[in-house]
Each structure stands twice: as C-alpha cells, then as structure tokens.
C-alpha cells in the first residue's frame, strides 16, 4: 500500500483510509460486530493504516468496535475520531445539537480514549463547526490536548475557508474532512486552493457517493429500514435516474482500464492532489479489496481531461443533505 502525508504535516497514512461509520450506524440492518472486527483487521493486513470513526457513530459503539479491533496493532495505525455534538447520554441514536465548548471537547477526548483503548488520538476533528463557540476557543482546547499528549493532530470537518484560516492560526490544522467526489465537487472552488496554500491535507468522505458511484444501485433500488439515504434528496428515485449519467461516465472509463466504476472514482480522487486521502467504507471484504486495488489504477492526464470534460456536461440532481443538515456545513 502506498503512503501519503496529510498536507505538510508529518502524519503519514495509507493512500486509502477506511471509513468505519457504516459498521455501526446509518445503512439499515447492522452487520455482526465480530465480522466487522475481522474486516477491520483484514484492512490492516492489506496495508490500510488510517481508520476514521466518531463518538456520534452509534453513538459510541463504533469507537468501541474500532478500539477493540485495532488494540492488538495500535502502534501500526492512525486513529481519527471526532467531537462536536451533544450525544444522547443513554446512547440512543441521534444527537441534541452542536457542542464544541472547550470543557466538552476535553470530556469527549477522555471518553473516546477509553472507548478506543488507547492513550492518544492521532487526529481529532471538530465534526461540525459550532457557531456558538469561537473557532479560536476550539483550536485552543485541542492545542491543550496536544500539549498534554492526548491528541497528536487537529482536524476540521465541513468547515468554511474563513474558519479554516482562523483555526489554523491558533493550532495548525493537519486535515480537513469534507465530502468530495465526482458528484460533489464544490470543494474545488475555494476549499482545495486554501488547503494547498496552508499545507492542510484533505480527507474525502463518501468518495463513492454513499454507494451510488459503484454502479450497484439505480432508480429502482429499495433502501431498508434505518438507511439514512432514503432521507437524502440526492437519493430520490428521480434524482438517481438523472444522476445515472455520472455512473455511466465512470463505467466507460472503467471498461477502458479493466477496472470497476468504484475504482475509477477513487483513482480520480487520488489523482487530484498527492495530499488527498479518501476514506471509503464498507462492510464486505470483497468491496474492501476492490477499493484497495484502486490505488494501482493509473489515470493519465488525458484520462483526467476526458473525465472532466464529460463530467462538466452533467448536472447532478438533488441536494446532498436535507436543509437542516446542509446548514451545518460550510460555516
């Protein structure tokens, strides 16, 4: 597995990370925990060193799963988790608003350390920007945790460029986690140039469009109970039908390369910048191996021009989040 540095930091990770959320929440019927622990260890065996979780995933249960899975190989991997929500204390699904007050950040760090079975968090993200807490206070709280040895690196998620700059001035930001893929390219306008200027890495989540870019679903796909995609505007049957053009584009390139649409989607991201590290998630070993193989798919400058030219003709339909969730991004 190739390695990459997140921005100008000394945080080296596998070129492809592993997004662990779906093993504990959001996609309907939950898989068996023991199988997911085995899958996580299989990812390590195949060279993945970068694992992404959050206290709100479950809540709590995903950190516990990741902690148990990776405890035997803790020094070989990079653990990323997140703070920023008031999580229901009884562990029930959902959350009760944003909370990035410094005292809360410290509490979350201590609780996450226990669940992850570790003495340090390698990358600690603010999950969403809290408009009620100055970002300077947030960065300062994480800076204290870094000085205490509990955290190694500071990250932000779905933050606007002004917030990124203000936070970076207090405590250098190692990585920004944002949705970014061939069907969500908004970060290219302002965010990616800012990250390049400041030397901050980009960690794209949902690099496969929450499964849509794999080509394994269409307008007739039925989502199971508890699958949050059924609430997303971009996943209505009408939007899926309209957005099939993106998958068709990927499939055409994939055929030329002897690859799959998912591999082309990931290879495209990896080709954008050397400091971009996508974190696709899966609950299946076959998909994990398919994703890992994307690292070896080489797209030429001509391939990239062809993809960009074709993608420019496609207008993706549907917002990525309902309005109440979209309001939490880009602050």
| Cα–Cα nearest to 270, from 253, 291, 256 | 291
- Full-model pTM: 0.97
How far are the Cα atoms of 185, 220, 226, 313 from residue 238, in angstroms, in the given order? Answer: 21, 10, 21, 19
Q: How far apart are CA 189 and CA 18, in angstroms?
A: 26
331 lies in some domain: no
307 lies in some domain: yes
Q: Identify the CATH number of the domain in which residue 141 sits.
A: 3.20.20.100
H-assigned helices in 116-190? 135-147, 161-170
Q: How far apart are CA 65 and CA 87, in angstroms?
A: 18
Give the model's pLDDT for residue 264.
98
Query: What is the extent of the structural domain holding 205?
Result: 3-326
Q: How far apart are CA 217 and CA 138, in angstroms?
A: 40
Q: How far apart are CA 318 and CA 298, in angstroms?
A: 31
Encode pLDDT of 215-257 as tens digits. 999 999 999 988 999 999 999 999 999 999 999 999 999 999 9
Give the model's pLDDT for residue 91.
77
Give the model's pLDDT for residue 96.
86
Bridge partners (DSSP) listed for residue 204: 178
- 3-class state of residue 296 by DSSP: helix
| 65: Cα separation from own chain's centroid | 17
Number of folded domains in the chain? 1
Catalytic sites, residue numbers = 57
Task: Write out residues in the chain with pLDDT < 50, as ranges.
Answer: none
79 lies in some domain: yes
Give the model's pLDDT for residue 21.
96
74 lies in some domain: yes
Give the model's pLDDT for residue 269.
98
Asked if 136 and 167 touch (Cβ cutoff 8 Å), the reply is: yes
96 lies in some domain: yes
Give the model's pLDDT for residue 93.
75
Encode pLDDT of 59-79 as tens digits. 999 999 999 999 999 999 999
Q: 3-5 and 12-14 as β-strands: parallel, antiparallel, unpaired?
A: antiparallel
């Amino acid at each position: 597995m190739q390695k990459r540095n997140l921005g100008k930091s000394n945080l080296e990770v596998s070129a492809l990370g592993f997004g662990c959320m779906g093993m504990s929440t959001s996609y309907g019927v939950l898989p068996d925990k023991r199988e997911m622990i085995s899958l996580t260890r299989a990812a390590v065996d195949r060279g993945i060193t970068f694992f992404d979780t959050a206290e709100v995933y479950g809540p709590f249960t995903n950190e516990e799963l990741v902690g148990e899975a990776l405890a035997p190989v803790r020094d070989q991997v990079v653990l990323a988790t997140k703070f920023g929500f008031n999580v229901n204390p009884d562990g029930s699904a959902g959350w009760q608003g944003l909370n990035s007050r410094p005292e809360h950040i410290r509490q979350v760090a201590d609780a996450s350390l226990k669940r992850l079975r570790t003495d340090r968090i390698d990358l600690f993200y603010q999950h969403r920007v809290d408009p009620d807490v100055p970002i300077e206070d947030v960065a300062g709280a994480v800076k204290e945790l870094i000085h205490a040895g509990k955290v190694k690196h500071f990250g932000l998620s779905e933050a606007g460029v002004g917030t990124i700059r203000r936070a970076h001035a207090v405590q250098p930001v190692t990585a920004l986690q944002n949705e970014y893929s061939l069907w969500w390219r908004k970060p290219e306008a302002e965010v990616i140039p800012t990250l390049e200027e400041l030397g901050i890495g980009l960690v794209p989540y949902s690099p496969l469009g929450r499964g849509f870019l794999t080509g394994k679903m269409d307008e007739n796909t039925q989502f199971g109970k508890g699958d949050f995609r059924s609430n997303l505007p971009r996943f209505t049957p009408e939007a899926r039908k309209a957005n099939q053009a993106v998958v068709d584009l990927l499939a055409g390139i994939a055929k030329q390369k002897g690859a799959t649409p998912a591999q082309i989607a990931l290879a495209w991201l990896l080709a954008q910048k050397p400091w971009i590290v996508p974190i696709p998630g899966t609950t299946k070993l076959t998909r994990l191996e398919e994703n890992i193989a994307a690292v070896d798919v080489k797209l030429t400058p001509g391939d990239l021009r062809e993809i960009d030219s074709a993608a420019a003709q496609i207008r993706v339909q549907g917002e990525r989040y309902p309005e109440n969730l979209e309001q939490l991004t880009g602050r």
